[in-house]
Structure 1
């Protein structure tokens, strides 16, 4: 494992920790899209179907379990926890996320590296992850004023994907025959979706002002 892959995994893990910290300690999910969290839960289920059949390493297994358990915990908190769910802004989080699922599944059926159930589900998870952040970005655009922890959560998610792109570039030049076009394109699309947010995030950090997106 190279340093970019490890940094990407740790950044992804930090994003989950920041979100759980916000929900568990502050008892608030204000500014967080339940639609995006549900999509991520589906992404991890589809991606980690091999959890109990193909052992790669202890590190790999632990990370898979962490992301599965944490994603479903976040959805549970936002849907069921009496205090947390009161802070969820359902009226603003109206992106029709279910319309993203079927196109991603159909695309995975036609564009994949191998026609097997697990491979199609893996590819489906890549396509879905590429667009899963859309409900969150739309919600931030509507609410405009973004609290510290929410801003850090979204930034870390974007940084995780950017670090994975560096990981792919590194592996392309150091490993023979390392070519995964579907993964690369999905990762690039996902990273580009964060571009606008990154711009305003770094501006707020540079000027030491509260993060605020334009109307």
Structure 2
């Protein structure tokens, strides 16, 4: 494991910690898209089906359990916690996320490395993760005031993907025969979706202004 992979994983984990801090401590999910959180829960559920059958390392297994557990915990909080669910911006979070699920699954059936149930679902999770942030970005554009924790959460998610791009570049030049075109292309698409957000996040941070995105 190279430093970029480790930093990517830790950044991803930190993004989850920031979101759980907002939800559990402040008892608020304002500005957070339930649609995106449900998509992430589906991503991890379909990607980690091999958690008890394919052991890579203790680190790998622990990280899988953490992301599975936290993703469904966040969804539960937003749907069922009597205080948190009242802060959910349901009227603004209207993106039809099934419009992302269906094309991603169809694409996984057409473009995959092997035609097995686990491989199709793993490929589906890669495609879906690439676009899962889309409902969240749409919600942020509709929200007039973006609090610091929400902005930091989205920034950390984007930074995690950027670090993974660097990880893939390092592996390409250091591991003979390393090729993962599906993962690479999906990762590039996912990172590109954050470009506009990164621009305004960094601009507002440098000017010491409250984060806001153009509608």
Same fold (TM over 0.5): yes
Structure 1 segment 138-149 matched on structure 2, within 5 A:
138-149=138-149
Structure 1 segment 136-215 matched on structure 2, within 5 A:
136-215=136-215
Task: Using the TM superposition, give the Cα deviation of residue 94 of structure 1 relative to its aligned residue in structure 2, in angstroms.
Answer: 0.1
Q: Distance in 1 between matches of 2:44 and 2:145?
A: 30
Task: Using the TM superposition, give the Cα deviation of residue 145 of structure 1 relative to its aligned residue in structure 2, in angstroms.
Answer: 1.8
Q: Distance in 2 between matches of 1:69 and 1:133?
A: 19
Specify the alignment match of 1:105 in structure 2: 105
Q: Distance in 1 between matches of 2:205 and 2:87?
A: 26
**Local SS of the residue matching 1:8:** helix
Specify the alignment match of 1:32 in structure 2: 32
Specify the alignment match of 1:21 in structure 2: 21
More deviation, 158-167/99-108: 99-108
Partners of 1:92 and 1:142 within 8 A in 2: yes
Structure 1 segment 19-168 matched on structure 2, within 5 A:
19-168=19-168
**Local SS of the residue matching 2:179:** coil
Q: Distance in 2 between matches of 1:98 and 1:108?
A: 15
**Local SS of the residue matching 2:53:** coil
Q: Distance in 2 between matches of 1:58 and 1:200?
A: 38
Specify the alignment match of 1:9 in structure 2: 9
Partners of 1:43 and 1:125 within 8 A in 2: yes
Q: Unpaired runs of 5+ in structure 1? A: none
**Local SS of the residue matching 1:28:** coil
**Local SS of the residue matching 1:27:** coil
Partners of 1:145 and 1:213 within 8 A in 2: no
Task: Using the TM superposition, give the Cα deviation of residue 6 of structure 1 relative to its aligned residue in structure 2, in angstroms.
Answer: 0.1
Q: CA RMSD in A?
A: 0.5
Q: Unpaired runs of 5+ in structure 2? A: none
Partners of 1:12 and 1:156 within 8 A in 2: yes
Q: Distance in 1 between matches of 2:106 and 2:97?
A: 16
Q: Deviations over 1:168-206 (max 9, x none)?
A: 000000000001110000000000000000000000111
Q: After the TM superposition, which parts of structure 1 deviate over 6 Å for at least 4 consecutive aligned residues?
A: none
Q: Distance in 1 between matches of 2:27 and 2:126?
A: 31
**Local SS of the residue matching 2:141:** helix
Task: Using the TM superposition, give the Cα deviation of residue 42 of structure 1 relative to its aligned residue in structure 2, in angstroms.
Answer: 0.2
Task: Using the TM superposition, give the Cα deviation of residue 144 of structure 1 relative to its aligned residue in structure 2, in angstroms.
Answer: 3.2
